[in-house]
């Protein structure tokens, strides 16, 4: 009995960690963001989003969303397995707010240095969604 408990305590947290270990190190968006939906997904929105993506995001995330596949440090937007797990609101949150002080991913939202409007950030997200091969 005691042996079982000790065993469980030793291995349970380890397996939890393994199961939850994500491909990329991205903070989870708060609920008020994950519920948001993208209202800017027309062909025109996507074209404008592409322009800003190529100007500001492609240096790190890659022209075709290939990310940094060597050390998995930059999210690959063309990785469909990963992108399936991402809500629009999650993508918007990181694009607008950044991925935290330790991250190279800075926020582009209205209050940031870049000062992009919500609409512009959403348009970039609409374009990112087209990068799945
Ligand atoms: C200087 C490099 C760099 C630039 C430029 C950059 N990113 Fe990122 N981005 C990252 C890194 C690194 C991560 C992963 C977070 C981490 O590991 O810190 C990330 C993560 C993200 C995520 C998180 C996706 C998810 O899975 O939740 C989104 C969305 C994102 N970036 C959007 C953008 C957009 C939009 C732009 C341009 C407006 C942009 N990024 C520009 C480096 C960059």
Distance separating alpha carbons of residues 113 and 130, to the nearest angstrom = 27
**pLDDT(76) > 90:** yes
**pLDDT(26) > 90:** yes
How many angstroms does the Cα of residue 125 sit away from the middle of ligand 1? 11
Q: Per DSSP, what are the bridge partners of residue 106?
A: 98
Within a domain: 63: yes
Count how many domains the chain has. 1
Within a domain: 21: no
Residue identifier of the C-alpha nearest atom 5 of ligand 1: 57
Q: Which domain holds residue 90?
A: 27-131
Q: Which residues form the pocket of ligand 1, taking CB atoms under 6 Å from any ligand atom?
A: 24-26, 56-57, 59-61, 73-75, 86, 90-91, 94-95, 99, 103-105, 108, 124
> So what's the pLDDT on residue 133?
87
Residue written as token pair 């994950």: 34
Whichever domain contains 107, its CATH number is 1.10.760.10
**pLDDT(8) > 70:** no
Q: Which of 116, 118, 22 is nearest to 106 (CA)?
A: 116
* Of 7 and 79, the one with more pLDDT: 79
101-25-88-54 Cα dihedral, nearest 10 degrees: 70
CA distances from 79 to 2, 19, 74 (A): 45, 19, 11
User: Taking the complete model, does pTM exceed 0.85, yes or no?
Assistant: yes
Distance separating alpha carbons of residues 103 and 93, to the nearest angstrom = 14
């Amino acid at each position: 009995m005691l042996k079982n408990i000790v065993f469980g305590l030793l291995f349970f947290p380890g397996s939890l960690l393994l199961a939850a270990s994500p491909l990329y190190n991205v903070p989870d968006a708060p609920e008020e963001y994950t519920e948001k939906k993208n209202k800017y997904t027309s062909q025109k929105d996507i074209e404008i989003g592409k322009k800003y993506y190529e100007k500001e995001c492609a240096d790190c995330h890659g022209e075709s969303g290939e990310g940094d596949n060597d050390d998995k440090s930059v999210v690959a937007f063309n990785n469909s397995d990963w992108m399936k797990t991402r809500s629009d609101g999650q993508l918007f949150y990181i694009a607008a707010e950044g991925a935290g002080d330790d991250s190279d991913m800075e926020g582009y939202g209205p209050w940031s240095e870049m000062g992009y409007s919500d609409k512009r950030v959403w348009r970039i997200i609409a374009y990112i969604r087209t990068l799945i091969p």
